[in-house]
């Protein structure tokens, strides 16, 4: 089994999403010692944003791309191959300004590509994901309680976006573990972290 861990927090230290991800992986690997694990840290090392040349190359048949076009898509191709390699995705995604970190959006723009991770039928106007057969787990700390279904949940464009884009490329078996109220007093913060950790430990047994 192969696990791709994607971290998007800009914090190297004191990151709730990184800490909980590490604890989950350690628990999950207990009964799975042969797991292959790769880390893609887009929070610390973000990918390049798509450019005009990138977009032109992306919409051109591979055999017609110039060397410059192939170079423009090289990082994207490597990220896609890494994503398709994985059986499991673990994503640490703190909510920034009601949505995902910009570095993660750049990553997703690089890996969500026509005829690589999805197809489009112009006759039927239907899409089909090409990254099927994977499971995903998303850990989403947030400043307040933006959990979907709560009064502030309608402003949660982090979880809803991720569920949509992962489903778009064929990954629809997704678990979300929120960690709300991280700008609240420490007692509340720690209780939410403990609650999230308990959920993750339960998932580690069955995921």
Under DSSP, the state recorded for 153 is: G
Q: What is the pLDDT of residue 155?
A: 83
What range defines the domain where residue 8 resides?
A: 2-206
**Beta strand ranges found along the chain (DSSP E):** 2-7, 36-41, 88-92, 118-121, 126-129, 135-141, 173-179
Q: What is the pLDDT of residue 147?
A: 83
Q: What is the pLDDT of residue 115?
A: 95
Number of Cα atoms under 13 Å in the Cβ half of residue 4: 17
Q: What is the pLDDT of residue 122?
A: 92
This prediction's pTM: 0.94
Averaged pLDDT, 128-140: 97
CATH of the domain at 167: 3.40.50.360
Averaged pLDDT, 105-128: 96
Q: Give the tokens for residue 90.
A: 């673990």
* Structural domain count, the chain: 1
Express each pLDDT in 8-45 by its tens digit.
Answer: 999 999 999 999 999 999 999 998 889 999 999 999 99
The chain-wide mean pLDDT, for the chain, equals 95
Express each pLDDT in 73-111 by its tens digit.
Answer: 999 999 999 999 999 999 999 999 999 999 999 999 999
Express each pLDDT in 156-172 by its tens digit.
Answer: 999 999 999 999 999 99
In this prediction, residue 146 has a pLDDT band, given cuts at 50, 70 and 90, of confident
Q: List the strands of the sheet with 88-92, edge to edge.
A: 36-41, 2-7, 88-92, 135-141, 173-179
């Amino acid at each position: 089994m192969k696990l791709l861990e994607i971290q998007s927090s800009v914090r190297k230290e004191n990151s709730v999403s990184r800490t909980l991800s590490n604890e989950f992986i350690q628990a999950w690997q207990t009964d799975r010692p042969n797991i292959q694990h790769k880390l893609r840290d887009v929070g610390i090392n973000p990918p390049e944003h798509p450019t005009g040349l990138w977009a032109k190359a992306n919409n051109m048949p591979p055999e017609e791309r110039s060397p410059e076009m192939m170079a423009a898509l090289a990082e994207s191709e490597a990220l896609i191959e890494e994503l398709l390699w994985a059986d499991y995705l673990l994503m640490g995604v703190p909510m920034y300004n009601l949505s995902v970190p910009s570095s993660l959006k750049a990553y997703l723009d690089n890996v969500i590509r026509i005829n690589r991770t999805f197809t489009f039928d112009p006759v039927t106007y239907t899409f089909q994901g090409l990254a099927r057969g994977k499971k995903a787990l998303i850990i989403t700390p947030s400043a307040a309680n933006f959990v979907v279904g709560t009064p502030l949940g309608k402003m949660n464009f982090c979880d809803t976006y991720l569920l949509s884009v992962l489903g778009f490329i064929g990954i629809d078996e997704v678990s979300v573990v929120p960690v709300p109220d991280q700008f609240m007093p420490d007692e509340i913060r720690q209780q939410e972290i403990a609650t999230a950790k308990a959920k993750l430990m339960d998932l580690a047994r069955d995921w």
